């Protein structure tokens, strides 16, 4: 059989084209996952790769750790609030950005910027922005008389201490994460909106449907598959991310007020030297994320408009 004919055969070409993905998945996802799985049932440490199996000991130890329980709760708070904000804000932004106005391309470009910049760099910028003493945000608040005076709205202290107070620290971490995710979510939604046939919207307009009726009864239902994909990606991304938390707070302020599972796995496994417990913590992601993926994909499949 000639090479050309071989390449024309679907049974040959399809596996060939998919093979790089398969190799990537095995090497970059499957292998680390299998390692984490084995490690989580062992007594391996960061300084000693030789190990023996210890059963479920790491899981029981992790479940009995108050910091783990706090990190788990923080992870859900961090994820759900972030995703909620991303959905609402991306909805608003995409509504604005699909309308015609001057310098639209510039605004779109600026909105995409956070996605193109390395996240660690962007977050370091926020570290300065939210600094306990030199925060320019605090300076603005003081200048506007909202802070640093006896009867100021935000209090008499000179600074807000964004990263020093548990509630404000969690809010800061969430806001930086939303800033990072928003561009992608917005662009996905804009792409979805562009795919809605204009005739449907125009027909609804002719029938007298107002903005909110069109939004809730036409646009959002038609966008459900796209929104589901956004939710899926954002959830997976948020649940497993530690960059923003690590750069901004290292899980602090004490006692682990913004610690999330990903950062706690690193803290325990690498900084603490207990690789086995670090692996056990990271494995807690798997059932949750697999469940989220299954549910969201099911919703998306049902909602596909044919």
Partner 1 sequence: MKKRYTRRDFLKHAGIGAASLAAGPALLDTVFAQTSGKRTLRILQWSHFVPSHDKWYDQYAKQWGEKNNVDVTVDHIGLADLKSTFAAEVAAGKGHDIVEFIDPPSDFEPSVMDLTDLNQEAVKRFGKQAPFATRSTYNPYTKKYYGFCHGWTIDPGDYRKSLWEKAGKPNGPETWADLLTYGAKIKNEQGVQVGIGFSQELDTNMAERTLLWSFDSSIQDENENVILDNKNTVEAVKFMAELYKQTLTPEVFGWTAASNNQLLLAGKASYILNSISAYRSAQKDVPEVAKDVFFTPALKGPRGTAMACEHVIYIAVVPKSAEKNADLAKQFLLDRTANYDRAMWESKLYNSPAFFGTALPGGDRGYPAVANAKTLRDLHNAWFSNDPYALPGERTDKLMPLKDAEKWSTNVGYPGTANPAEGEIFGTYVLPGMFARVAQGKQSAEESVKQAAAECKKVFDKWRAQGLLRKG
Query: Minimum CB separation from partner 1 for residue 127, in Å?
Result: 8
Distance between CA atoms of residues 156 and 148, nearest Å: 4
Q: Which is nearer to partner 1, 114 or 155 (CB)?
A: 155
- For residue 45, the SS3 value is strand
153 secondary structure, DSSP code: T
| Chosen residue from 174, 227, 274, 279 binding partner 1 by CB under 8 A | 274
Using CA atoms, how far apart are residues 7 and 11, in angstroms rounded to an integer?
Answer: 9
Residue indicated by tokens 């992601």: 285
Binder of partner 1 out of 218, 237, 252, 285 (CB under 8 A): 252
For partner 1, the closer of residues 124 and 140 by Cβ is 124
Of residues 191 through 230, those in contact with partner 1 by CB under 8 A are none
In the complex, minimum distance from the CB of residue 130 to partner 1, in angstroms, rounded to a whole number: 8
- Could you give the string, one character per residue 17-36, with x where binding to partner 1 holds by CB under 8 A and - elsewhere? --------------------
Shortest distance, CB of residue 176 to partner 1, whole angstroms? 14
Q: Give strand pairing partners of 45.
A: 48
- Choice between 74 and 186, CB closer to partner 1: 74
Nearer to partner 1, 65 or 95 (CB): 65
Determine the Cα–Cα distance for residues 136 and 256; give it in Å rounded to an integer.
26
User: 122: which 2 tokens?
Assistant: 């962007």
Stretch that binds partner 1, among 19-27, 263-271, 281-289, 295-303 (CB under 8 A): 263-271
Residue with tokens 């398969």: 22
Closer CB to partner 1, 130 or 219, in the complex = 130
* Residue 155 sits in the site that holds partner 1 (CB under 8 A): no
CB of 251 to partner 1, least distance (A): 6
Sign of CA dihedral 252, 253, 257, 258: negative
SS3 48: strand
Contact between 148 and partner 1 per CB under 8 A: no
Q: Does 122 bind partner 1 (CB under 8 A)?
A: no
Nearest distance, CB of residue 245 and partner 1, angstroms: 11
Angle made by CA atoms 103, 108, 110, in degrees to the nearest 5 = 95
Alpha-carbon distance of 173 to 119, in angstroms, equals 13
Helix segments in 195-284, DSSP class H: 198-206, 211-214, 220-239, 243-248, 261-266, 275-283
How far is 127 from 124, CA to CA, in rounded Å? 5
Q: Six-digit token pair at 295? A: 């549910």
- By CB under 8 A, is residue 43 in contact with partner 1? yes
Span of 19-27, 114-122, 232-240, 266-274 interacting with partner 1 by CB under 8 A: 266-274
Give the binding site for partner 1 (CB under 8 A).
43, 45-50, 61, 65-67, 127, 132-134, 157, 159, 161-166, 169, 249-256, 267-268, 270-275
């Amino acid at each position: 059989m000639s090479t050309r004919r071989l390449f024309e055969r679907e049974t040959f070409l399809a596996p060939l084209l998919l093979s790089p993905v398969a190799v990537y998945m095995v090497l970059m996802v499957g292998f680390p996952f299998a390692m984490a799985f084995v490690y989580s049932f062992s007594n391996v440490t960061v300084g000693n790769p030789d190990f023996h199996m210890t059963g479920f000991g790491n899981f029981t130890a992790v479940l009995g750790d108050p910091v783990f329980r706090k990190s788990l709760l923080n992870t859900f708070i961090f994820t759900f609030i972030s995703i909620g904000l991303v959905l609402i804000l991306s909805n608003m932004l995409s509504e604005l950005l699909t309308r015609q106005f001057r310098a639209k391309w510039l605004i779109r470009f600026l909105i995409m910027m956070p996605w193109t910049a390395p996240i660690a760099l962007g977050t370091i910028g926020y570290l300065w922005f939210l600094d306990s003493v030199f925060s320019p945000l605090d300076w603005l608040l003081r200048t506007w008389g909202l802070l640093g005076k006896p009867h100021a709205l935000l209090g008499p202290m000179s600074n807000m201490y964004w990263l020093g107070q548990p509630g404000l620290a969690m809010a800061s971490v969430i806001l930086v994460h939303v800033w990072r995710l928003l561009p992608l979510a917005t662009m996905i939604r804009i792409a979805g909106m562009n795919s809605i046939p204009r005739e449907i919207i125009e027909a609804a307009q002719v029938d007298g449907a107002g903005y909110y009726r069109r939004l809730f009864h036409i646009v959002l239902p038609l966008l459900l598959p796209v929104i589901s994909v956004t939710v899926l990606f954002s959830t997976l991304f948020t649940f497993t991310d530690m960059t923003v938390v690590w750069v901004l707070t290292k899980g602090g302020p004490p006692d682990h007020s913004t610690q999330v599972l990903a950062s706690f796995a690193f803290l325990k496994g690498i900084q603490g030297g207990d690789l086995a417990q670090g692996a056990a913590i990271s494995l807690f992601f798997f059932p949750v994320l697999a469940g989220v993926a299954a549910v969201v994909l099911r919703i998306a499949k049902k909602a596909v408009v044919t």
